[in-house]
Structure 1
Amino acid sequence: MARYLIGNWKCHKSSDSSKEWLDRFDKAYRPQDGLEVIVAPPAVYLESLSFHVKRLQLRHFSLGAQDISPFPRGSYTGAIAADMVKPFASYAIIGHSERRRYFHETVTDLVNKAAEAADVGLTPIICIENGDTLSSLFALKDIDCPGMILAYTPVDSLNFRIPESVARVGVVIKRIANYFPRRPIVYGGALNVDNFREYLEIDGLSGLFTATASLEVQSFSTLCRAMGASL
C-alpha cells in the first residue's frame, strides 16, 4: 500500500506565493516510488497551480481541494461542485473539523461530499476527529471508491497544537482499520519537523496529514525525504 504525505494550506498564500512555493519545492523534491505527495491550496488557485505542476513535471505529486459541495452543479450560490474541481485536482479533503465548527457541516454533508467526489473520480480524504464515533460514518461503506483515504485528525490536537500521543494514535488507527479494512489511514494533528518521525513507526499508518508544516518548503521537504527514506 502506498504512503501519503498531505499538506493542507488552509486559507493561506497568494497566487504568486503559491507558485513560488512550487518552484522552490521542485528544486528540493526527490520523488520516491510508493510515496504520494498531495498539497491542497485554496480553491481559487487550483486551476493555475495545476498547470504549474504540469509544467514542472512533478512526479508522485498531486493537488487536492480543501472542500467540495455536497451537491452536483445547480442553483447553489457559492458552491464548488466536484466535477468543477476534477480537471485540476485528484483529491478532495472532506469533513475537516474546521468545516464542522465554523460552517456547521454535518455527517450527512460529509457522506454526500464523499459520494460526489467518488462519482467524478476524485479521491476523498475523509477527516475523522474521534475514533469513538465511527458508526456514524457507516454510510461511507456504500461508496464505491477503493482509494478513499481516512485521516485521523483529533480536534484537540488541532485546537491546542499539541499532537496526540503515539500510543493513543496507534489505538485509534487500529480501531479505524477494523471498521474500514483495506483503507489507507493517515494521522494529522500538530505535526512538525521535530515530532513527526515517531508517528511513522505506528503499525497500520499509511502517512501524515500536515498543515502548518506544509506552508514552508524546507519543513515539508524534510518530511518528504524522511518518509521516502522510510519506505
Structure 2
Amino acid sequence: MTTPPAKRTAIIAGNWKMNYGPQQAASFVGEILPALSEALQSQDSVLCILCPPAISLAAVHAILNIPDASATPYIELGAQNMYFEEKGAYTGEISPLMVRELCTTVILGHSERRMYFGESDELVNKKTLSALNHQLRPIVCIGENLQQYEAGETDHVLSAQLRGSLAHLTIEQAREVVIAYEPIWAIGTGNAATAEIAGKVIHHIRQEYQSMYGAEAASAVRILYGGSVTSNNIAEFMAHPDIDGALVGGASLKPDFVDIVRHTVKSIAQ
C-alpha cells in the first residue's frame, strides 16, 4: 500500500558522522542557517534534522537557539547513536535521557555501526524500543552490501534486518519509526542508486512492514533513501511516491545541503 509523499511529512536529515567538533559545528550551522531557514519558511511538508557528533550537539543547539528541542517546526537536532540503558557503567556511551535533553531524533543501526562496531539487529532493536519509550524519534537504518546486491539478495537481507531491528513495536510505535534504506555500496562512493532502484526496494520495505504491522502503519511510516544524495539527484528520489526524504552523509557537511532541502521543498510543492 502506498500513499502520496505529501501525506507524510518528508525528512531531510544530515548525518555528519565523525566530522565537526563544537567550534566547527557552530560555525557551519551559523553559515547555513539563514538560507536553510529561508528554504523552510511558510511550509509544513519538510522537516530538516541536523545530526552532529555527540560532542557538538550542545554547540549546535545553542546556535539554533532552541529553548526546547521540540519547539521548532521545521528544523530539529538529532544524535547519531545512543545506548538503550538510561544510566550506568557504560563508559563512552550516551543514554536516551541525555539525548532527549537536546534532541528529538536519533539515528540507529547505521551500516557503519553494524560493520565497525559489531551492532546486531537485536541490539538495534533494543535501542529502537528505548528511543521510542523516551519520546525520541528513531531513524533506523537498513541496507545491503555490494556482494549481497550483486547476488540478488537485497530483498532477503532487508526483510531480515527489518524484522530483527523493528520487532516488538506497538502499532502506534510502528507508525512513529522512521526507516532509512542505505545501500552500503552507495554510501560515500558517489554511486547513488537510481531513483527507480531505490523506489523499488523501498516499496518492498513498505510491503514487508505492512506484513509486520498492518496497512495503516505501513502507509504512515516514513522511509528515507541514503547513499550519495546530492542536490543534483534529490528531486528524482522525491518524485517516487514511496520515498519520503533522505539521510544525507557527505553533502550535509557542505552548503549544498541547503540546496538539497530547497529542492525537496520545491519537489513536494509541485
TM over 0.5: yes
Q: Does 1:204 align with 2:218?
A: no
Offset at residue 24 of structure 1 (A): 1.7
Aligned equivalent of 2:9: 2
Structure 2 counterpart of 1:143: 169
Indicate if the aligned counterparts of 2:51 and 2:80 stay in contact, CA closer than 8 A: yes
1:193 shift after superposition: 2.2
User: Per-residue CA shift, 1:57-99, capped at 9, x if unaligned?
Assistant: 9641001100011333112121111111101011000000001
The aligned residue for residue 167 of structure 1 is: 196
Separation (CA, whole Å) in 1 of partners of 2:15 and 2:244: 17
Aligned residue in 2 for 1:132: 156
SS at match of 1:68: coil
**Aligned residues of 2:202 and 2:223 also touching (Cα < 8 A):** yes
Change (3 A) 1:226 1:158: same
Q: Is the 8 A contact 2:32 2:258 kept in 1?
A: yes
Amino acid at match of 1:207: G
Residue number in structure 2 paired with 1:224? 261
Deviates more, 1:118-127 or 1:57-66: 57-66
Label 1:136 to 1:200 Cα distance change in 2 as closer, same or farther (>3 A): closer
What TM-score, normalized to structure 2? Answer: 0.80
What does residue 12 of structure 1 align with?
19
Give the equivalent residue in structure 2 for 1:192.
230
Which range moved further: 102-111 or 131-140? 131-140
User: In the TM superposition, what is the alpha-carbon distance from 1:136 to its structure 2 partner?
Assistant: 4.1
Determine the C-alpha separation between the residues in 2 that align with 1:46 and 1:128: 24
1:63 aligns with: 77
Q: How does 1:33-44 map to 2 (within 5 A)?
A: 33-44=44-55
Q: CA deviation at 1:47?
A: 2.0
Q: Residue 214 of structure 1: which of 245, 252, 259 is its match?
A: 252
Measured in 2, the distance between the counterparts of 1:15 and 1:107 equals 31
* Structure 2: 5+ residue stretches without partners: 1-7, 145-154, 210-217
Q: CA deviation at 1:195?
A: 2.4
1:141 shift after superposition: 4.4
How much does 1:116 deviate? 1.1
**What is the letter of the counterpart of residue 168 of structure 2?**
D
Q: Secondary structure at the match of 1:6?
A: strand
Aligned length: 230
CA contact (8 A) 1:19 1:49 kept: yes
The CA distance in 1 between the partners of 2:22 and 2:82, in whole Å, is: 20
Matched, 1:28 2:65: no
Q: Pick from 100, 113, 123 the counterpart of residue 86 of structure 1.
A: 100
More helix by share: 2
Tell me the C-alpha RMSD between the 2 structures. 1.8
Q: Which amino acid aligns with 2:230?
A: N
Paired residue secondary structure (2:101): coil
Percent identity, aligned pairs only, is: 27
| Residues 212/178 of structure 1: CA separation in 2 closer, same or farther (3 Å cut) | same
SS at match of 2:92: coil
